[in-house]
Each structure stands twice: as structure tokens, then as C-alpha cells.
Structure 1
Amino acid sequence: MAMSDNLKGAGLMMTAMAGFTLNDVCIKALAGDLPLMQVIFLRGVLTSSLIAIAAWWMGALSFAIPPADRRLIAIRCVAEAAAAWFFLTALYHMPIANLTAILQALPLVVTLGAALVFGEQVGWRRMTAILAGFTGVLLIVRPGTEVFSIYSVLGVLTVLCAAVRDLVTRRLSRDVPSLTVTLFTAIAVAMLGLVLGLREDWQMPNAREASLIGGAALLVLGAYLTIIMAMRVGEISFVAPFRYTGLLVAIVAGLIVFGEFPDLLTWVGSGIVVASGLFAFWRERRLSLPRPRVPPR
């Protein structure tokens, strides 16, 4: 039996989330071995090169960008570079499952941002889901307790910067190829690593470290390509919720690779965040469905 487009899209989305998460595993495995900015720069150079080749091969490389889109892409690059710095700094110092759980609040923050910035309608049900999701994040971060650290704050800042990136992306013209935008973003992140890395003592990676950086770059490329295909194959409202499978991959990888296992409150908080996001997706999909016409009496 042939697989439906929605199921294909869901499979591609799960593949993309696994790719992004396993990339994080590769980077975290380098903690204590190589300076963070050196890792960001080297991975960025490899990722940018691979994306440029893929975009050229697919005919999606175009530098004829309207002036209005250039400004939006510049804002997107700054937001993405900041998000990368916050996220990877936190990743070096906190459990990968906890950090990934915080990031699951991103769709809720984007929904709230769209309401505040673009005036999109958000009813009380989705607003309640957003507030519940923020409560879940607080259970994970737990400010004022011994579990709390500055790195948890960096995780929250990652979500805010990523929300700015996604909101700006919504305003880009449809004529601008996705891979071109992704290429500019990857270059911006690499440049961040180069500039901030001037304060670090870089060293020559050994075979293991080079393999992890190269693997991370390949995983990021694969994740970018599959998430673009996922959004083009299936309905976004059906496919998007499968992004939460990345949290499952992070929990399993954290346990197997780093011996990390979330505590009870992190489980509870993660569950609330995911449930809130799924409800928000479901509600948005329901509101987008055409209403049945009422026959005249």
C-alpha cells in the first residue's frame, strides 16, 4: 500500500529532528576537548560548503534577492548566530535532554510572537496552551533551586532568538530559495565562531575530533534538506507536531552516550511543554479547516 504524503512528511520530519539532535550529540561529545568557538567555526565552514554544493546541484542557489528580503535575511542571520551561541554554550554544560526539552517551547513562543507582532488571532484556548507550556519550561529550569544555572537561562534565550528567526522567515518572499537563506545563515554562524574564537587558543583536531565535526556538518545538512522536503510533501499542520520526536532522540542519546537521565520534574515539565505544543498545533489545524456551510431554512 502506498504511503500517503502526510505520512511521508511525518517520516521526513522525524528524520530531520533526529539529524539535528545527533548533530548536537556530536558537538557535546567535543566538550572539554576543543574550544567551543573553534568547533562552531569548523562545523560552520563545512556546513556552509555542503549547503552551497547542495543548493547549486538542486538549482536553488540564487543571489538575486530583493532589497526588502536582504534586510530580513540579515536580521535572520543575526538571530540565528545568537541562538547558536546561546544553545551551544548551554549544550557544553547541561544535559542534552533538559536543553532539548526547553527548545520544545519554540512553536508556542512563535505563536505568541505572531499574535504580538503580526496581529494574528490567538484564542483563549491556544493562549492557555502557551501559558501551560511556559509553566512546563519553569519546571525544567526551576529558578531559585540548586538545579538552576545560567545555562538554563541560555536555553531560554535560544528559544527567544530562534523565535525571532522564525518570525522573520515568515516575512520572506516565496521567491527566495530556502537553501539560499540557509546558506547565508550557516555562513553567519561560522563567522560568529571565527570572531569570538580570536580570544581562544585553537588547536589541531585529532582524528576523533575531526570525525565528530565532519559528522555534525553532514547531519545538519541532511536535517536541513529533509525538513524542507517534509514541509513540501505533507500538510504543515499534520507534519509539524512530529518535530517533538527530537526530544525522544535527545533522551535516549543522553542516556546512552553521556549517562544522563532526566529527573521527575524534568519529565513532567517536558510532558507539559509537548502536550501544550501538540494542542496548539491541533487547534490551529482545526481553525484552518473549512467550516461546513449551513443550508438555508
Structure 2
Amino acid sequence: MTILPNERALPATGVIVILITVFAMALTDAFVKFSSANLTLWQIYVLRSVIAIPALLLLTRRAVWPSAPGWVALRSASLLLMYLAIYAAIPILDLSVIAASLYTAPLFIVLLSSLVLGEPIARYQWTGIVTGLVGVLLIVRPAASGFSLLPLIPVAAAFLYAIAAIVTRAKCVRETPMTMALWLNVTLLIAGTIASLAIGFAAPLPAYPFLFGSWAAMGTREWQIIAVLAALIIGVSIGLARAYQSPKPQIIATFDYAYLIFAAFWGYVFFGEVPSPLTVTGMALIAFAGVMVLCTASPPEKRQDRPGDPEQSNL
């Protein structure tokens, strides 16, 4: 699929791709949460990647080796740790809470863009950052009697997502979505294999089997789940890279917030989860803050692009 570098092009394709992608992302998280009682995270990583990697190799029409392997490796490692943070909390937290905490990522992207890339932060973007933090506090509720730090785990995932976004934007512009998807799955396969062997040698921890348990026996139902997860990760990993290489990535990112709706929907369908009024309010504030941060035009900055360079883009 050809990526248009023209800034004036309408990002209609990117909008459609991101909506389909976040729908699949929310469904993936629901399936992982659903299977967390029977399968380990590392088992999912290994078996899913064993199916996904050959499929991606068949779909890849260009060279599979990245032009900037170090930066692609850093991007893949950041996303690996992001998934680990999300899935560490997924057996315990509602999907809607995880989604809301994760979608503080645009706030981190703006801050890191300022620190790393030297991009100025507009006044309304600062307002959006503060609004998003208020939304996080409504979800975490530090003053409540049942206060828990667990919702901050997906906030850490959001920070890692932001790192991956900045790396993609600044250093992986020339990579194809298929190449980035392939090496992300290779990274997941390697990490899953190493973790599985380490747990096997060190002995499992029954207190938290999803992260530290032994592999479960695979029946027809388990293989069906793995096949669905493999199909979803192929679509998600290609879709994310493709969507954010569209023109006007800030517009694409606003539609990314549809994940909050889809996560709440799948949480209700699979687990009967109904967010509390404060959680819904916090989700709304975070979504509003993200849209404010992403849609506020930053002051003009000097460009030093060489003739023929593609337009820089987010994750």
C-alpha cells in the first residue's frame, strides 16, 4: 500500500485504518484477558509470533532487513515493554481503566517531542496535559480507601508507547509498516522464548501464573485463541505503522481515541464490566486532553528537511 507524503492529501485512508486497528487492539486485549486464566503471557507471545512471522514474511514484498536496524530495535523493545506493562495489569484491572490510563500517551508524546526533538509546547497543550493528569487522578483516586497503584502500570505503558512514537517519527520514517511489524513480532518471539526458558529453569510462581507460570496444555480451544490473536497482531502491527505514516498524524491520533469506546464495549461483552461514573469522567477528561494536545497548532518551527525527504510521522 503506497504511503502518500503529500501534506495536503486528506488522511481518509489513515482514519479508516486507525479505526479498524484500534477496534482490533481492543479485541486483542479482551482475548488476552479472557485467556489469562489458562495461558501464560510468554506462551501467547511465542505461539502467536510463530504463526504471525511466516505470514508477515509472505506478505512482505521488499527487503525485510530495516535500513535503521538499531532504531527499529529500540522501537520494538519499547513496544515489547509497553505490552508487558499492559498485560501485567490486564488480569486484574477492567479494560476501560487500562484503556484510559494508556491513552495518556499523547501527553507524553508532546513532552518528549519538546525534550528530545526541541518542538515547542503551546499554551493550550499545557492545559491539555494538566487536564489529562486530572483525568488520571479521577481513575486512580489516591484519596480513596481502596487506593491502588495498579492503574499506574498502564500509565507506564503509555510512556513507553510515547518513546516508540518519537523513535518512529524521528528515526524510522524510511521503514515500511511491514518491516516494522515483522521485527516487532520477532522481538516478541525472542522475549517470550527467553522468559519461558528462565521460568522453566527457575521454577514457576503460582501466585501470578499469567506472568510467571508454566506453559499450559494446548487443546483445540487454545489453538483457536492463538490463531485469532496471531491474525489480530498482524493487523494491529501493520495498521498502527500504516495509519501514522499517513498525512497529518495529529488528526489520525484523535481517532485513535476510539479505543476507549471499543475497550469499554469489549469489556462489557466479555466480562460484564461497567465503569464507575468517576472512571467514565476520567476517561472523558483524558480523551478531551489528548484531542486538545494533538489538535492545538504549535508555533511555526524551522524545517531542515532535505529535498525528497518523506514527511516525518508519528507511530
TM-score (norm 1): 0.86
Query: Does 1:18 pair with 2:31?
Result: no
What is the match of residue 260 of structure 1? 273
Equivalences for residues 6-85 of structure 1 within 5 A? 6-54=11-59, 56=60, 59-63=61-65, 65=67, 69-85=68-84
Q: Which has the higher helix share?
A: 1
**Farther-moved stretch of structure 1 (264-273 vs 72-81):** 72-81
Partners of 2:172 and 2:78 lie apart in 1 by 18
Distance of aligned partners of 1:238 and 1:145 in 2 relative to their CA distance in 1, 3 Å threshold: same
Q: Is this contact kept in 1: 2:48–2:227, CA < 8 A? A: yes
Match of 2:288 in 1: 275
2:263 to 250, 267, 270: 250
Between the two proteins, the alignment pairs up a number of residues equal to 279
What's the CA shift for 1:197?
2.0
Deviation at 1:106, TM superposition (A): 0.8
Q: How far has the Cα of 1:5 moved from its partner?
A: 4.5
Q: Distance in 1 between matches of 2:168 and 2:146?
A: 35
The answer to whether the 8 A contact 1:6-1:235 is kept is yes
Distance 1:233 1:35, change over 3 A: closer
> What's the secondary structure of 1:93's corresponding residue?
coil
From the superposition, tell whether residues 230 and 121 of structure 1 become closer, same or farther in structure 2 (CA, over 3 Å): same
Structure-2 change in CA distance of 1:197 and 1:279 (3 Å): same
User: What does 1:197-276 correspond to in 2, within 5 Å?
Assistant: 197-198=196-197, 199=199, 200-231=213-244, 235-276=248-289
Q: Return the letter of the residue paired with 1:238.
A: I
What displacement does 1:254 show?
A: 0.5
AA at the equivalent of 1:276:
A
Cα RMSD of the aligned pairs, angstroms, is 2.3
What whole-Å deviation, never above 9, does each CA across 1:103-156 have from its counterpart, x for those lacking one? 111111111111112211112210111121122112112235354434323211
Cα separation, partners in 2 of 1:123 and 1:64, compared to 1, 3 Å: closer
TM-score by length of 2: 0.81
1:134, 1:273 within 8 Å by CA — same for their partners in 2?
yes
C-alpha distance in 2 between matches for 1:162 and 1:231: 13
Residue 231 of structure 1 and its aligned partner are, at CA, apart by 4.0
Check conservation: 2:85, 2:157, Cα contact below 8 A. Answer: yes
